[in-house]
Amino acid sequence: MTTASAEPKGIARLQMEEEQLISESLLKRALRRLWHDRLTMTAIGVIAILAILSIGAPFISEQILNTDYSRVDMAATFLKPGEQGHILGTDDLGRDHLARLLWGGQVSLGIGFTAAILSITIGVSIGIFTGYYGGIVDDLIMWFITTINSIPSLFLLLIFAALFDPGPLGLILVLGFLGWTGTTRLVRGETFSLREREFVISARAAGATDLRIMFVHILPNLISIVVVTLAIDIGVLILVESGLSYLGLGVPPPTPSWGNMLTDSQSFINRAPHLVILPGLLITITVLCLYVIGDGIRDAFDPTIVD
Amino acid sequence: MRKLSAIVLLVVAALVLSVLALPAAAQDEGGPGEGGIIIESNFGGDIATLNPIIISDASSSAVAGFLYPGIIGLDPETQNAAPNVAGALATGWEYDETGTVLTIYLRDDAFWNDGTPITAADYLYAAEAIKSGETDSARTYVFDSIESIEAPDDYTVVVTFKEFNCRSFNDVNDIPVVPAHIFSEVFETYADMNEDVDYNLNPTVTFGPFAFGEYRPAEQVSLVADQSYPDTILGYVSPAGWIYKNVADQTVEIELLLAGEINVVAGVTPERQQDMRDNADIQTFDYPANGYTYMGFNLADPTNPQDGLDEDGNPIDQGNHPLFGDVRVRQAIAMGVDVASMVDATLFGEGVQIATNAIPTSWAYDDSIEPWPFDPEAAAALLEEAGWIDEDGDGVRECRGCLYAEEGAPAEFELLTNAGNTTRERIGEIIQSQLADLGIKVNFNAIDFNILVQTLLGQEFDAIIIGWSLGLPDDPDGTAFYGPENDLVGSGFNFVSMNNEELNRLYNEAAHVPGCDQDARAELYIEANRLLRNELPYLYLYSANAQYAVRAEVEGFDPFPSFLYWNIDAWRVISAE
Amino acid sequence: MLKYTVRRLIQGIPTFFGITVLSYMLMLAAPGNPIELLTFDPNISVEAREKLAIQAGLNDPWPLQYLTWLIGNDWRPVDMNANGVLEEGEYGVRQGILRGDFGRSFFYKRAAITVIGDRIPATLELGVAALITSLVLGIPIGVIAAIRRGGIFDNFSRVMAVVFNAVPSFWLGIMMILFFGSILGLLPMNGRCGTVLVGGCPPLYARLEYLIMPTFVLAAGGIAGYSRYMRTSMLETISRDYIRTAHAKGLPGRTVWFKHAARNAMIPIATFLGPALTGLWGGAVITERVFGWPGVGRLAVEAVTQRDYPVVMAIVILGAVSTIIGYIVSDILYALIDPRIRFS
């Protein structure tokens, strides 16, 4: 902190404040737009309700439903909704369908959310890093990404699924570690252009460390990309989870997930349609809402769209 | 309105005509190759090869079964080896007085469909190919018991065994009969069978009701009627052909049957069997499947897997499993699991509970050996007696003076099965739920089959749910599963590390009954099974029902268990018109 | 341009080797053993299994297995009959992938490349049909939605796009089979062509009905994706100056929309085509399974679960090579279409 550097730093601060002012007003405008976007707000509401119900699954099933997702009752199989106090009926082993749907939601949403966070964290970190430094590091990482992307993703998915322990945690790791390359490419491109912007240059002139520039100055400008990717990725991952269940590679029982509930009840479509329809409907609605949210946020942040 | 009356008129006319035509129809029973096409769905994966020497998958065997004769036939009704069975060669056989030399007499009226007689040389060729070790046939094991095979003349085969053993007889049928005159031409060396030789999937010279038609990869295999086949019931082969059509989804499989796009489903899943019985368009046949499902207990210490015997044949100390080492715990678990309800819930009642590894169709089955009753109270009492008591009231018992676990260790174990098999997954969930009531904590995991096989053969598991499908003819011996010589870490099938002297003695005696009299052998096997029922190396669960479902317009459907097609040459599909 | 292409191809070589090493190691690292699976049968003795493992080279250390796979083993003595003795002149028979030999499938007992080759036509048929369908439907929907922005068609198409994208595809497939196949009896439920004794599959035009449902299920995502992309791209383009100029010059609306705006908006789609074509490779596993379609995707899943290493690796390598080429082609396409980019 010598006086010699005081002046440039002052100028830099001024410019930074200006930039921040702009991004702040952008954020404000985006939020205001979101608030007025009824479709997106409804979707956010639906997801919030589903999330709360899923998180509350242990409490709801124990305290309110007085049951457990794995409590087998062979005297009460295939009950219809409403029978014997089972609000949504029971499945082929007499387990409460509502409790299983709630727990299944916890697992499916949990996997989607955590894996998406994981892959975006990896993707954004590497993307900023390689975009900011460029050069040989960038070449190497891009080569690695091209290599990974050239291997059929199905193969990677199957092999990784075999390498990790089965179960939700393994699936999170597999999906998280496989999905980051797209985000990296996106973030890298954005960082390329951001690092030439004035507020970055002046921050650098003011002596800010690279890390500080990357995470304090560049990262906030990527927020819309991150949020949009996050919303869409969660949706995609929930679908991937159900697809893997169909191939027999999803979350293994006894843990319920929407995907394995849908797959396992397939053959009961004539006997107990509610077992099939509900998980399918929940998956569809959830993914639908996440896509809508993704779109809505993208529009809200889009500077080319005028109010 | 005019349309309707026209239809009514047509129906009436058809009825009248059909009544008038009845005597004529009785004579008109179709003719050679006019009986339509039999289409069976194949859920089991595409065929690999039609060369019976190297076949190792079920789909390929199902197709090749129509194309090549067996040396000794199985009577479809008794499921036992019998002389003069249609489609097989042996007219009789006899042992010498030592029981180590088997002479098989072959018929002289069987010809490959190119006119070449089928002789002992055709059997010898396959035997030599397998023995050479150059092919990748997995059947080299037959020469563990067989010393040599010779052919004194064209229609006599003499098999010499290394030692007398009643079980060796079945090895004879594991060697196929192939047209040697063609094979030796197509395959310059035995090793050539491993290569991409077109003949492996396009066999032209065969013997059976059908000859090879064509193969469409991952879609279907078709066979066409072969009127040169001599062993027909009607004097000719009625169906025009048989198609094995790949279907990858079991829901779709049933829809195809209902829509008439296929006319045979040989393995209806339990949840659909009742639907099939109730459907007027479908004929069904239910029978106990030739196999069973069980929960296997690792009796030895899973943290330190050891072989059963050392090089000199002396037992190795394998330690004891903290829980399952004590037979009382296994018995308590047997009484704590409600298998009857399990059959109802996971198989929709389509199965029978079993007490041992003999299923009801086995010749060593004795219904006086009953499964353990479902009795949670007795189970709890037995656990207390074995020193497993829940003193801290957390719902899980702890070791309080038990035999093999550390004092205070919880009664907890890991139960594994293969992911993707929904029936086994449901069984695991039921066992987990019911043993929790008994104060035993079960950590149930469904894992990838590859990992399961490694954990299993590596003997590093606690307990496992899996099944065995059995071969024909029936062999009640259990040495492969319970013999100490097969307790080999990483490769043997006695992965539960069973070693019971009495059991070993019984199996050994049963395999060496002079003259191999089946009744005398059965008595010994029943005694062995009684022992297994009490010792419980496996908790034997059930044998599921299998079902053949065939469309109503197929005439001649008259199967025996495991023999759906024994009379297929007399089948006929009545067309709807 | 030739120079550019050659340089890109040379750049692909290290990527190719990276892929081979990475996938080979991953595959061998996966738990499981193909011989154990093929012989999970108490009848088969330990010795018989051991013999099969030796013949398949599975007991060799992994660098040697990799090398054998890459350059073959016909140059070194190998105990082919697994009798424990190396006899005179007993050499390997594999030539390695660099000489076009992808090895022999453990399960199918013939050359891995033949097994895959048998499946490629079906995969291409379905994949190309789905790609064409998604382009032919997706692009016009996107353009019209952009023109009628905010209108009923726009909103309807956006909702449908999202809905079809949000349904698990196996579920969509099975529901379609039940409805169109089973209940209405309109469309065949399974397979690629009719079940006939002999005569093989008729030419494509004679069995289009088999293609309808699987194509739709596979294309549902693509239709949605392309229409959304096209809509955004159109909206961006029509805000550009030259479109405004064209409007101002009094050109008729339709000409401006379709001749100027849509053509320019389609440029980015061209860059998708390369990767999209190669993405078809094994990308249709679920659809193939639901509809019993005899394609590569199903084979890939089976091969991985059976640990049929030669087949798995052949699929990976063919997929990787076509992806690398796909990227190069789409870059070249992009440069050709977009005058702002020059080859350098």
Going along chain C from its start, the domains and CATH numbers come out as 2-112 (no CATH), 113-337 (1.10.3720.10)
Q: Is the pLDDT of residue A48 over 60?
A: yes
C-alpha–C-alpha distance, residues B120 and B459, integer Å: 44
Instruction: Label residue A6 by pLDDT band (50, 70, 90).
Output: very low
**C-alpha to C-alpha distance for A191 and A126, rounded to whole angstroms:** 11
**C-chain residues within 8 Å CB-CB of A239?**
166, 168-169
Give the pLDDT of residue C274.
64
Q: What is the CA radius of gyration of chain A?
A: 24
Put simply, the answer to whether A159 touches C26 (Cβ < 8 Å) is yes
C221: nearest CA partner in chain A: A236
Is the pLDDT confidence value at C161 over 70? yes
Contact (Cβ atoms closer than 8 angstroms) between residue B549 and residue B372: no
Instruction: Please report the pLDDT score of residue B25 as a whole number.
Output: 39
Rounded (10°) angle between helices A180-194 and A135-150: 150
Q: Which two tokens stand for residue B291?
A: 């196999």
**What is the pLDDT at residue C342?**
56
Cα–Cα dist C77/C56, whole Å: 14
Looking at the structure, tell me whether residues B541 and B559 fall in a common domain. no
Tell me the shortest Cα–Cα distance from B249 to chain A, in angstroms.
10
Phi/psi of residue B572, each to 5°?
-155, 130
Distances (CA, A) of A262 to A277, B222, B348, C216, C220: 8, 35, 19, 21, 20
B31 residue type, one letter: G
* B286 located within any domain: no
Parallel/antiparallel/unpaired status of strands B282-288 and B538-551: antiparallel
Whether residues B423 and B332 fall in one domain: yes
Q: Hey, are the CB atoms on B448 and A167 less than 8 Å from each other?
A: no
Residue of B205 and C181 predicted with greater confidence:
B205
CA atoms within 13 A of residue B38's CA, in its CB half-sphere: 31
User: Where are chain A's structural domains?
Assistant: 34-65+98-300
Kindly determine whether residue C171 and residue A280, on different chains, have CB atoms separated by under 8 Å. Answer: yes
The two tokens of residue B112 are 């490959």
Q: What is the pLDDT of residue B18?
A: 46
B224 and B83 inside one domain: no
Please give the pLDDT value at position B557: 93
Distance (Å, rounded) from C-alpha B409 to C-alpha A204? 61
Domain contains B398? yes
Contacts 24+ apart (CB under 8 A), C284-288: C284/C123, C284/C126, C284/C127, C284/C130, C284/C214, C284/C218, C285/A154, C285/A247, C286/A243, C286/A246, C286/A247, C286/C169, C286/C170, C286/C173, C287/C126, C287/C169, C287/C173, C287/C214, C287/C217, C287/C218, C288/B248, C288/C123, C288/C126, C288/C214
Judgement on whether residues B417 and B373 belong to the same structural domain of the protein? yes
pLDDT at res. B415: 94
Q: What token pair was written down for A21?
A: 């002012």
Residue matched to tokens 């159900």: A242
Q: Are strands B101-106 and B90-95 parallel, antiparallel or unpaired?
A: antiparallel
Q: How much is the pLDDT for A142?
A: 86
Q: How many domains does chain B have?
A: 3
Say whether both B361 and B302 belong to one domain.
Answer: yes
pLDDT in tens, A122-180: 999 999 888 888 888 888 888 888 888 888 777 788 787 777 766 788 888 888 888 88
**Residue contact A267–B271, C-beta within 8 A:** yes
Q: Which of A139, A174, A150, A163 is nearest to A244 (CA)?
A: A174
Instruction: Tell me, yes or no, whether B279 lies in a domain.
Output: no
For chain A, how many helices (H) and strands (E)?
13, 0
Q: Does residue A91 surpass a pLDDT of 90? A: no
Mean pLDDT of C86-93: 75
pLDDT confidence of residue C138? 87
Name every chain A residue with its beta carbon within 8 A of the beta carbon of B434. Answer: 72
Q: Dihedral angle at the C-alpha atoms of A54, A55, A56, A61, nearest 10 degrees? A: 60
> What is d(CA C166, CA B504) in angstroms, rounded to the nearest whole number?
60
Torsion over CA: A155, A156, A162, A166 (sign): negative
Q: Label each residue of A102-148 as H, E or C.
A: HHHHHHHHHHHHHHHHHHHHHHHHHHHHHHHHCHHHHHHHHHHHHHH
* CATH code of the domain covering residue B532: 3.10.105.10
Averaged pLDDT, C123-152: 86
Tell me, yes or no, whether B95 and B59 share the same domain: no
| Type of residue found at C192 | R
Query: Rounded CA gap, C109 and B196, in Å?
Result: 8
Q: Is the pLDDT of residue A8 over 50?
A: no
Domain that holds residue B175: 68-195
CB within 8 Å of chain B, chain C residues 292-311: 292, 294-295, 298-299, 302, 305, 307
Chain-chain contact of C26 with A284 (C-beta, under 8 angstroms): no
Residue finishing a domain among B195, B226, B250: B195
C301 vs B contacts (CB less than 8 Å): none
Whether residues B78 and B140 fall in one domain: yes
Least confident of B255-269, C27-41, C246-260: C246-260
* Alpha carbon distance B483, B497 (integer Å): 8
Percent of chain A with pLDDT over 70: 90
Tens digits of pLDDT across chain B (577 residues): 444 455 544 544 554 444 444 443 334 457 888 889 999 999 888 999 999 999 988 899 999 999 999 999 999 988 889 999 999 999 999 999 888 999 999 999 999 999 999 999 999 999 999 998 888 888 888 998 999 999 999 999 999 999 999 888 889 999 999 999 999 999 998 988 888 788 999 999 999 999 999 999 989 999 999 999 999 999 999 999 999 999 988 888 998 999 999 999 998 988 889 989 999 999 999 998 889 999 999 999 999 888 888 888 888 888 999 999 999 999 999 999 999 988 988 888 899 999 998 888 888 899 899 999 999 999 999 999 999 999 888 889 999 988 898 888 999 999 999 887 888 988 998 999 899 999 999 999 888 888 888 889 889 999 999 999 888 788 888 888 999 988 988 888 999 999 999 999 999 999 998 888 889 999 999 999 999 999 999 999 999 999 999 999 999 999 998 899 999 999 999 875 4
Coil, helix or strand for B543?
Answer: strand
Q: What is the pLDDT of residue B576?
A: 56
Indicate the residue type of C326. G
Q: Looking at the domain assignment, is residue B386 inside a domain?
A: yes
Task: Please tell me the distance in Å from C84's CA to the nearest CA on chain A.
Answer: 33
Q: What pLDDT, on the 0 to 100 scale, is given for residue B183?
A: 94
Buried-exposed string C44-75: b where 16+ CB fall within 10 A, e elsewhere = bbeebbebbbbbbbbebeeeebbebbebbbee
Considering the domain architecture, whether residues B511 and B468 belong to the same structural domain is answered as yes
Give all chains having 3 or more CB-to-CB distances under 8 Å with chain A. B, C
- The answer to whether the CB of B292 falls within 8 A of the CB of B467 is yes
> CA of A292: which chain C residue's CA is closest?
C162
Record: contact B341-A74, CB cut-off 8 A: yes
Q: Do A155 and C168 touch (CB under 8 A)?
A: no
**3-class SS string, C1-15:** CHHHHHHHHHHHHHH
Note the Cα B573 to chain centre separation in Å.
28
What are the structure tokens assigned to C199, written together? 């005569």
Same domain? For B221 and B179 the reply is no
Tokens representing B548 are 């053949």
Question: Which pair of structure tokens corresponds to residue B300?
Answer: 């030895």
Lowest mean pLDDT among B210-219, C84-93, C162-171: C84-93
- Give the helix/strand (H/E) hosting B339: helix B339-347
Q: Measured between CA atoms, how close is C238 to chain B, in angstroms?
A: 48
In this structure, are residues C98 and C70 in contact, taking their beta carbons and an 8 Å threshold? yes
Structure confidence at residue A5 (pLDDT): 38
Looking at residue A160, what is its pLDDT?
A: 78
Q: Which of A252, A254, A266 sits opposite B432 (nearest CB)?
A: A254
Coil, strand or helix at C336: helix
Burial class (CB in 10 A: 0-12, 13-18, 19+), C89: exposed
Give, for B480, the enclosing helix (H) or strand (E): helix B479-482
Using a CB-CB cut-off of 8 Å, the residues of chain C touching B56 are 38-39
Instruction: Give the domain CATH number at B564.
Output: 3.40.190.10
- Tell me the nearest-neighbour CA distance from B531 into chain C, angstroms: 21
Which of A42, A141, A155 is the mutation pick for testing C, counting most C CBs within 10 A? A155
pLDDT for the residue numbered B339:
93
Q: Which of C296, C292, C290 is nearest to C192 (CA)?
A: C292
Topology (CATH) of A34-65+98-300? MetI-like fold (1.10.3720)
In a domain, B271, yes or no: no
The residues of C whose Cβ lies within 8 A of any Cβ of A are 14-15, 18-19, 22-23, 26-27, 29-32, 162-163, 165-171, 174, 178, 236, 239, 281-283, 285-286, 289, 297, 300-301, 304-305, 312, 315-316, 319-320, 323-324, 327
CA C37 to chain centre: 27
Whose CA is closest to B427, among A268, A74, A245, A249? A74
Interface test with A, best of C160, C288, C304, C317 (most A CBs within 10 A): C304
CB B341 within 8 A of CB A72: no
The helix (H) or strand (E) run that includes residue A51 is helix A38-55
Q: Is the ipTM of this complex over 0.85?
A: no
Q: Which of residues 99 through 138 in chain A touch B, CB cutoff 8 A?
A: none
CATH of the domain at B138: 3.90.76.10
Contact at CB, C170 and A242, closer than 8 angstroms:
yes
Q: Rounded to whole angstroms, what are the CA distances from B545 to A78, B273, B340, B376?
A: 21, 9, 14, 27
Q: What is the 3-state secondary structure (H, E, C) of B377-430?
A: HHHHHHHHHCCEECCCCCCCCEECCCCCCCCCCECEEEEEEECCCHHHHHHHHH
C-alpha–C-alpha distance, residues B496 and B464, integer Å = 10
**DSSP-based three-state secondary structure for B354:** coil
Rounded to 5°, angle at Cα C154 from C153 and C159:
95
Six token digits for residue B226? 């072969």
| Region at B24 (left for phi over 0; alpha for psi -120 to 50; beta for the rest) | alpha
| Statement to judge: residues B441 and B349 lie in one domain | yes
More confident residue, A295 or B570: B570
